[in-house]
Amino acid sequence: MKELPFEIKFIYLTAIVIMICFVIFIVFVILMYNRKQLLFLKEKQLKESEYQNQLLQKELEKQKSIEKERERISHDMHDDLGAGISALKLQAEFLKQRAEDEDLKSDIDELLKTSEEMNLSMREMLWSLNSGNDTLGSFVDYSKMYAYNFLKKTKIQLSTENENVVSETMISTEQRRNLFLCLKEALNNAYKHSLSTQLKLSFIQKDKEFIMKISDNGIGINHEKSEGNGLRNMKRRMQEQNGHCEVTTENGTHLFFRINL
Tell me whether residue 21 is in a domain.
yes
In a domain, 167, yes or no: yes
**What is the pLDDT, as a whole number, of residue 79?**
63
| Residue 139, pLDDT score | 93
The answer as to whether 227 is a domain residue is yes
Report, in this order, helix, strand and coil percent for the chain, each rounded to 5: 65, 15, 20
pLDDT of amino acid 244:
93
The residue range of the domain holding 254 is 133-260
Cα 151 to Cα 125, 127, 198, 229, distances in angstroms: 20, 20, 10, 22
Structure confidence at residue 221 (pLDDT): 75
Kindly state the DSSP code that residue 2 receives in the 8-state scheme: P
Whether residue 229 sits in one domain with residue 159: yes
* Distance between CA atoms of residues 133 and 179, nearest Å: 14
Q: What angle do CA 184, 196, 147 make, to 5 degrees?
A: 30
Same structural domain, 147 and 255: yes
Q: How far is C-alpha 230 from the chain's CA centre?
A: 21
Total domains, the chain: 3
Among residues 184, 65, 191, the alpha carbon closest in space to that of 124 is found at: 184
pTM of the predicted structure, to 2 decimals: 0.64
Of the candidates 243, 146, 226, the one whose C-alpha atom is nearest the C-alpha of residue 186 is: 146
Task: Please give the chain's pLDDT, 261 residues, in tens.
Answer: 556 566 777 777 888 888 888 888 888 888 888 888 888 888 888 888 888 888 888 887 877 777 777 777 766 666 666 677 777 777 777 777 877 788 887 888 888 888 777 777 777 877 877 777 889 999 999 999 999 999 988 899 999 999 999 999 999 888 998 999 999 999 999 998 889 999 999 999 998 899 999 999 998 876 556 566 778 899 999 999 999 999 988 889 999 999 998
Q: Are residues 103 and 169 in the same domain?
A: no
d(CA 223, CA 119): 37
> Do 166 and 104 sit in the same domain of this protein?
no
